[in-house]
Amino acid sequence: MSVTTSTTKDVLLRVRKHVRDGICDDVQMPAPEKRHAHAALKTMERMLSVSPPIVLALILLVSWYLGTSYGRISSLILPAPGDVLVSLSNGLSSGILLSAALVTAQESVLGFLLALLVALPLGYGLAKSRLLATAVHPYLAAGQAMPAIVIAPLLVIWLGYGLVPNVILCMLIVLFPMVITTILGVQTLDQTLIDAARVEGASGWSLLAHIEFPLALPALLAGVRTGLTLSVMGAVVGEFVSGGDQGLGALVQLAKEQFDTPALFATLIILGVLAGLYYMTSWLLTKLAEAVY
């Protein structure tokens, strides 16, 4: 028997209320006079969570400066922070780093979106069908075990140079972890809640969209966060193999061939910033999903 959207949403709300009430039964809400102290404690906890990475970064930066200034380390092995900063500034002002970053971002985002379109239905099917899982799992494991650097030349031979093989390589690198997290998210759903929703009349698409998907969303978002960050690696590997002159991977290859270590470090900094932006975007998506659901 099918149900309306409002009915299935009511089921989900009742399920969430039951879980929330069960968690909060033994929790005493803070008194009004204690709320300011509670807020101050939360602020202190946030500051303590941010300060360790900042302190570690300062220690590494100072060690880097001292090592290159007084440790007699060759600039070919480890350039001075000032040289890296100059190379980074020149690359940004000329537009070379930004244009290369845009190419890599385009490849990685398209590869991630393609993997997302494949991973979600495939992971759900593998979680629900034992026959499909038995047939597909060995190939997924074999594909994941095969190094991307080996697959990339085949993609270049089959698809030529340019955007398409790099996007496909990104998709292949991102696909496996996203499929696995989708499978875990679906398989670890509380079957009691699913049965309760079926008793209320939820089935088919309504059960998937309003019950299973929201409950599996934390695992799905974990896969999204991992996959979006990994997509940068797929784009760079593709640019290494294709041997083109576009993308951050091409700049890394060029800097290596010219023994320009400061330019190499500057490109790595841009790659790190790009990966950080991806991770921050996925974190914002997670917070948005928590607010909506």
User: How far apart are the C-alpha atoms of 179 and 133, rounded to whole Å?
Assistant: 11
Answer yes or no: is 63 within a domain. Answer: no
Q: What is the pLDDT of residue 209?
A: 77
Q: What is the pLDDT of residue 234?
A: 87
Is there a contact between 114 and 171 (Cβ–Cβ < 8 Å)? Answer: yes
State the residue for tokens 């950080």.
Answer: 276
Total domains in the fold of the chain: 1
Q: What is the pLDDT of residue 1?
A: 44
Q: What is the pLDDT of residue 273?
A: 93
Instruction: Please report, for the domain that includes residue 256, its CATH number.
Output: 1.10.3720.10
Q: What is the pLDDT of residue 36?
A: 60
pTM score of the predicted model:
0.79
Answer yes or no: is 44 within a domain. Answer: no
Answer yes or no: is 174 within a domain. Answer: yes
Answer yes or no: is 62 within a domain. Answer: no
Q: What is the pLDDT of residue 15?
A: 52
Question: Residue 44 contacts by C-beta under 8 Å, 6 or more apart in sequence?
Answer: none
Answer yes or no: is 89 within a domain. Answer: yes
Q: Residue 248: which of 216, 265, 227, 270 has the closest Cα?
A: 270
Q: What is the pLDDT of residue 3?
A: 46
- Owning domain of residue 171: 5-30+74-292
Answer yes or no: is 55 within a domain. Answer: no
Answer yes or no: is 48 within a domain. Answer: no
Q: What is the pLDDT of residue 38?
A: 60
Low-confidence spans in the chain with pLDDT less than 70: 1-50, 202, 243, 293
Answer yes or no: is 47 within a domain. Answer: no
Question: Residue 150 contacts by C-beta under 8 Å, 6 or more apart in sequence?
Answer: none
Helices (H), the chain: 5-24, 32-70, 81-94, 96-128, 130-145, 148-159, 163-187, 191-199, 204-207, 213-242, 248-257, 261-292
User: How far apart are the C-alpha atoms of 141 and 136, rounded to whole Å?
Assistant: 9
Angle at 278 between CA 89 and CA 43, to 5 degrees: 95
pLDDT tens figures, 102-159:
999 999 999 999 999 999 999 999 998 989 988 888 888 887 788 877 888 888 888 8
Is there a contact between 13 and 213 (Cβ–Cβ < 8 Å)? Answer: no
